[in-house]
Amino acid sequence: GTVKKIAVLPGDGIGPEIMEEALKVLRKVEDLFGHSFQFTFGMAGGGAVDRVGNPLPEETLSLCKQSDAVLLAAVGGPKWDNNPPELRPEQALLGLRKSLNLYANLRPAVLFEGLENASTLKPEVVKGVDLLVVRELTGGIYFGEKKRERLEDGQQATDTLVYHEREVERIVRRAFEIARGRRKKLTSVDKANILESSRLWRSVVDRVARDYPDVQVEHVLVDNCAMQLIRRPADFDVIVTENMFGDILSDETAMLTGSIGLLPSASLGEGMTGLYEPVHGSAPDIAGQGVANPAAMILSAAMMLRHSFGYEEAATAVEQAVRKVLADGHRTADLAGPGTLAVGTEEFGDLVVEAMNAYEPDPKVPLE
């Protein structure tokens, strides 16, 4: 078959540690399924600021554009927190998302077997959680005009939240399409009681909904949604929302599953190159200790296999292996508890590879 070119951006903090485990798993995919990957490493984030004074060097951006997919671990850390905006590691993410036009960010949250007690919520509340946040990723307050002014009586800062109906329509349509392939339930989250951009958002959802009469749609205000996610999380199927609401709510869904170290994501546009990264950040508090959970990174690689390459069976094999390792009781520190088998980052990756050895084409339910 063809060689798939993958741009590998390990980034900062725990990034390099978890990336190594994902690459291990992808090499196993090559062995088992006869696929072949060409990995090219690129600099991004704080490390790139330190080395070349640019969080997203031109070289990295062109590498990504020339690749079939981008795997990114995480960027950022306290070292760069007081840098000016253009020299912040996070700029690498925003630049990649915008340059590759990756407006659709898919963030699945599923309760895995054996993790019923891992959430801070009661097991009967999180039982059956299987939802997908579809987050708009290239618009809204992240990309609107910003300014800082010095007024007579002190400083003033502005961030602008802008959406064109075109931007809303493409993400909403995508969410409807996805909902159609799932339990056919779509929750659109906004703040239409206050924000004009939300009122536009809501009207677009209602218009597009006419093309999807088979999908049940509800509008929920973001504050209420934050509560309902804790109250009745298993009721949610697909949640579609704007950039910042999606950022916040997706971290909240992490706690339904037990750890943010379990949440993968896919960022997609209309083009060929998708970007795959965990929902979590660079976890500076545990970096360099070999204790980070690599599952989110490994599951992001599985999403890449599915969405960018169409390798459905390989994707399912990876997901099944991660489920197996967790169901067998192996836990990184973020999930460790009574009766579990504590493992480090590397050992978890090895266990996933080992579980893949035992893979038989008897696919369980895929993650999405």
Asked if residues 199 and 191 have their Cβ atoms less than 8 Å apart, the reply is no
Of 76 and 261, which CB lies nearer to ligand IPM in the complex structure?
76
Of 14 and 303, which CB lies nearer to ligand NAD in the complex structure?
14
Is 75 a binding residue for ligand NAD by CB under 6 A? The answer is yes
**323 is known to lie in a ligand binding site:** no
Q: Spell out where the chain has E strands.
A: 3-11, 36-41, 69-74, 104-110, 130-136, 146-151, 154-159, 185-190, 216-221, 238-241, 266-268, 274-276, 330-331, 341-342
Of 114 and 281, which CB lies nearer to ligand IPM in the complex structure?
281
Asked if residues 240 and 180 have their Cβ atoms less than 8 Å apart, the reply is no
Q: Kindly tell me which residue out of 12, 130, 242, 247 binds Mn ion, with binding defined by CB under 5 A.
A: 247
Beta bridge partners of 107: 133
Is 82 a binding residue for ligand NAD by CB under 6 A? The answer is no
Q: Which amino acid, one-letter code, is at 313?
A: E
Contacted by 42, from Mn ion, ligand NAD, ligand IPM, none: CB < 5 to 8 Å by type: none
Sign of CA dihedral 257, 260, 263, 265: positive
Q: Kindly tell me which residue out of 16, 144, 284, 366 binds ligand NAD, with binding defined by CB under 6 A.
A: 284
- Binding track over 294-323 against ligand NAD, x by CB under 6 A: --x---------------------------
Of 132 and 260, which CB lies nearer to ligand NAD in the complex structure?
260
Is 107 a binding residue for ligand NAD by CB under 6 A? The answer is no
Nearest Cα to Cα of residue 299 among 314, 315, 312:
315
Nearest Cα to Cα of residue 74 among 278, 273, 294:
278
Q: Kindly tell me which residue out of 7, 171, 286, 352 binds ligand NAD, with binding defined by CB under 6 A.
A: 286
CA distance 196 to 2: 48
Is 131 a binding residue for ligand NAD by CB under 6 A? The answer is no
* Part of the chain binding ligand NAD (CB under 6 A), chosen from 96-104, 135-143, 175-183, 279-287: 279-287
CA distance 83 to 247: 22
Active site positions, annotated: 142, 191, 223, 247, 251
**108 is known to lie in a ligand binding site:** no
Q: How far is the CB of 105 from Mn ion (least distance, A)?
A: 10
**13 is known to lie in a ligand binding site:** no
Nearest Cα to Cα of residue 99 among 133, 144, 135, 137:
137
Annotated binding site for Mg(2+): 223, 247, 251
List interacting residues with ligand NAD (CB under 6 A): 14, 74-77, 90, 93, 260-261, 277, 280-286, 292-293, 296, 334
